Amino acid sequence: MDIMIKISGLTFDYPGRRALDDVSLEVAAGSVTALVGPNGAGKTTLMRCIAGLETPLAGSIEVAGMDVIEQPRAVHRSMGYLSDFFGLYQELSVARCLEYAAASQGLPDAAIPQAIRDTAHQLQLTDRLSQASGSLSRGLRQRVAIGQAIIHRPKVLLLDEPASGLDPEARSQLAALFRQLQAGGMTLLVSSHILAELDEYSTHLLALRDGRVLESRALQGVAQTDGARILRLQLAAPDARLADWLHARPGVVCRNVDSGFAEINFQGDANAQAALLAALVQAGFAVTGFAEHKENLQQSYLRSVAAHLESVESAP
């Protein structure tokens, strides 16, 4: 696993308040990490430290192999950061906002017009380029701010509560954008209180509480006690053969099956899953959905909080 962010022993104090307490963690390259935790857990402080905007009391932070404290400017070239209370220059057009961000990220003048076009296209802002940013809706302003954060094609994007205040349609567009950025190779660290939303696109969970790491791990499919994975499959139209076909298939135990949908326990790795899907298609089933049932982020997070509280209570 390639590591994009590596933090060791990070401690940060505000006057009279320890916000991060000996935090050590790694963020895998190409992952989308959901940064979660209650109010005051230290999420914003952690992001600001990673972005080189705060100087910690102790510890080290590396991004893309560079030391953030030693080489903040070099690291900024590889990083985009959207703060929870971002500001835009209200009077500037969207194009000017993007141009300003591109220039301040050190893009050569000759490369800026193309970077503006590409970023506007990716964020579906092309028809808004001449509009003043202050006249846009909140959802569009959010997209301009993300555009400013990614115009220099960073390797890492840090987003602090990017979906707050957005309507469901804008949130879903944002989720699609994050998946697209990840598919393009970017590593994302996204904080939010809305776990259901993070669930849609996160590959990893990083939970903070009282300035400490509560849990840091990959989100995987739900393993059953016998090691089987839960798979869900959906057909375009009911097919009466489905239950019998699945029952006869080695490695498959049906949990819940009707003619158009099935939830099964499946013994087998990713290749075996691919072979099962191929066999279904070959047998003439019109499969429209085939996916491992992922752990629910909210349940998983609440379970780690409960385990933490139990361990605190049972400590001598």
Q: Which stretch binds ligand ATP (CB under 6 A): 42-50, 56-64, 69-77, 253-261?
A: 42-50
Report the distance separating Cα 168 and Cα 117, nearest Å: 27
31 lines the binding site for ligand ATP (CB under 6 A): no
Tell me how far, at minimum, the Cβ of 1 lies from ligand ATP, in Å.
26
Tell me how far, at minimum, the Cβ of 182 lies from ligand ATP, in Å.
23
Q: Using the rule CB under 6 A, which residue among 40, 72, 221, 251 binds ligand ATP?
A: 40
43 lines the binding site for ligand ATP (CB under 6 A): yes
Q: Token pair for residue 148?
A: 């400013």
45 lines the binding site for ligand ATP (CB under 6 A): yes
14 lines the binding site for ligand ATP (CB under 6 A): yes
Tell me how far, at minimum, the Cβ of 47 lies from ligand ATP, in Å.
8
| Contacts by residues 51-57 (CB-CB < 8 Å, ≥ 24 positions apart) | 51/76, 51/79, 51/81, 51/158, 52/76, 53/81, 54/12, 56/10, 56/11, 56/12, 56/20, 57/11, 57/12, 57/13
Q: Using the rule CB under 6 A, which residue among 4, 10, 36, 42 binds ligand ATP?
A: 42
Instruction: Look at residues 174, 120, 182 and name the one whose alpha carbon lies nearest to residue 151.
Output: 120
Of 194 and 279, CB closest to ligand ATP: 194
Q: For residues 118-135, b (16+ Cβ closer than 10 Å) or e, as one string?
A: ebbebbebeebbeebbee
Q: What is the C-alpha radius of gyration for the chain, rounded to an integer number of angstroms?
A: 23
Q: Which stretch binds ligand ATP (CB under 6 A): 14-22, 165-173, 241-249, 294-302?
A: 14-22
Of 193 and 232, CB closest to ligand ATP: 193
Q: Using the rule CB under 6 A, which residue among 31, 44, 119, 122 binds ligand ATP?
A: 44
202 lines the binding site for ligand ATP (CB under 6 A): no
Tell me how far, at minimum, the Cβ of 291 lies from ligand ATP, in Å.
31
How do beta strands 58-63 and 3-14 pair? Answer: antiparallel
39 lines the binding site for ligand ATP (CB under 6 A): yes
Write down how long the chain is.
316
* Cβ proximity of 23 and 212 under 8 Å: yes
33 lines the binding site for ligand ATP (CB under 6 A): no
139 lines the binding site for ligand ATP (CB under 6 A): no
37 lines the binding site for ligand ATP (CB under 6 A): yes
Provide the CB-side half-sphere exposure for 226 (13 A, CA).
9
Report the distance separating Cα 87 and Cα 101, nearest Å: 12
Which residues in this chain contact ligand ATP in the complex, by CB under 6 A? 14, 17, 19, 37, 39-45
